[in-house]
Amino acid sequence: MQELQVHPHVRVATLAERFDVATETIRRDLDALSRDGLIKREFGGASARPMGHQPDLAQRQLSAVAGFERIGMLAADMVRSGDVAMIDAGSTVAQIAPFLAARTTKLPRTFLTNCYAVVHGMAELADHDDVLMCPGQFDRRENAVYGNDTVEYLRRFHANIAFIGASGISRQGFSDVNRRAVAVKRAMMERSDETWLMVDHTKFDQRYLENVAPLEALTGIITDRRPEPEFASQLERAGIRLLAWCDEKHGPA
């Protein structure tokens, strides 16, 4: 960790030579720090993790598009006829919108969101379905609204299910870099019977600025690939359901 405070990236071979230990020892230590969310493991070494920063929504949507869409498809399958669903902001969560719009149900559905990307993705929604956009202060980086007005508006409603995102998830819980977003996520969780976290596999074993809630607060996690067996076992012991595209659809992604 001290080396990363000086150098933004360190290599296994360099650390092994500097501290006169085997490369396998360095790899094990780096893997342990990565699991705790303290560093970012990279090929041949590691880099420091900026726990209070992430790219804006538009930049995140340009990466891992296929994985995001798979997660959105799985999530949309969980919304039933007549349901009320709360939908968080974020590049992964927003992928649920077009798949919800493509499905027709006998009973009308109601969707509450603080994200304009979600509203835009529901342009083809059936006429009998409703979309309620939260009030609040607009954040153009996230294409969403946040603040006290957003939280108070959500607390007026009750939902069957909430879909939320996060910057990272670790054994300590799931976390986010945006503190205003954390308050909105918690409000959605409080007002919903079920809470499903939508994250791609790169978010596992990652920890960021503010913890949203412990793992036990989740009903389940929807992802493109399963996490490492040790982490998957912890989720199972906590009673958290894990839906992965590679399990549900076409094998390994």
Q: In the predicted model, what is the mean pLDDT of residues 28-56?
A: 64
Same domain for 96 and 28: no
With bands split at pLDDT 50, 70 and 90, how would you rate the model's confidence at 57?
A: very low
pLDDT for the residue numbered 60: 45
Q: Report the mean per-residue pLDDT for the chain.
A: 85
- Indicate whether 39 and 151 sit together in one domain: no
Structural domain of residue 119, as residue ranges?
Answer: 57-250
- Residues 62, 38 share a domain: no
Both 65 and 27 in one domain: the answer is no
Do both 21 and 140 map to the same domain? no
Q: What value does the mean pLDDT take over residues 216-229?
A: 95
Give the model confidence (pLDDT) of 126-178 as tens digits.
999 999 999 999 999 999 999 999 999 999 999 999 999 999 999 999 999 99
The reported pTM is: 0.75
CA distances to 18, 139, 189, 215, 242 from 219, in Å: 46, 28, 10, 9, 9
Residues 70 and 15 in one domain: no
Indicate whether 38 and 143 sit together in one domain. Answer: no
- Residues 117, 163 share a domain: yes
Domain count, the chain: 2
Looking at residue 9, its pLDDT comes to: 64
Instruction: For residues 38 and 64, state if they share a domain.
Output: no
Q: Are residues 111 and 202 in the same domain?
A: yes
Instruction: Report the pLDDT value the prediction gives residue 39, as an integer from 0 to 100.
Output: 65
**What CATH number has the domain bearing residue 121?**
3.40.50.1360
